Amino acid sequence: MNPEHGLSRSQFEFLFRSEYKGMLYFAISYVKEEEAAKEIVQEAFINLWEKRESIDPEREVKSYLSASVRNRCLNYLRDNKRFSGTLLSLGGLLPIPSAEEYDQIEFRELSRQVHNAIEELPEKCREVFRLNRFEQMKYQQIADHLQISVKTVETQMSKALAHLRTRIKRN
């Protein structure tokens, strides 16, 4: 590796020691599970190390790392078919211990985007989504409650999740 380009081992080690705990709290605020958050943060650091030669240490490496952790958290939530009720709430008032103010602002912005995306859903779709995600109702319970088929519930949830994924993509 050319010493003029990329992140050096000592820079990486310093970043890991100084940012691991904050990134862990940041991830826990999303996924609400310490073990999953540890895995997510470790994967983000591994990815950073693997891409170290293409990283400019003069730029905001911490911002890159924060974005990587955030995206991995969102993928985890999507892949595990659940969203945090706090994340999806309007205020996004969950404190993020040891996180930078930038991360808190970003978290509130994401919460606002999620809330707005939910509000954009058609009424029935929004109702099905809220019953599932906020009331933790199973598809069959929602179908019985709304007097619709389970297939309709599945379709509405697919539409809602697709809409959320589209609206919440980060640039």
pLDDT for the residue 99: 45
Extents of the domains making up the chain: 1-106, 121-171
125-136 CB burial, b ≥16 within 10 A, e <16: bbbbbbbbbeee
Q: How far are the Cα atoms of 15, 40, 91, 103, 129 from residue 65, in angstroms, in the given order? A: 10, 11, 25, 11, 31
pTM above 0.75, yes or no: no
Tokens found for residue 48? 């950073």
Each of the 171 residues of the chain gets a pLDDT tens digit; together they read 344 567 788 888 888 888 899 899 889 888 888 889 999 999 998 888 888 887 776 777 888 888 889 888 888 887 775 544 445 444 344 444 444 555 566 667 777 788 888 889 999 999 999 898 888 889 999 999 999 999 999 999 889 888 888 887 643
CA angle (57 as vertex; 53, 61 as ends), nearest 5: 100
Domain 1-106 fold is Rna Polymerase Sigma Factor; Chain: A (1.10.1740)
Domain made up of 121-171: CATH architecture: Orthogonal Bundle (1.10)
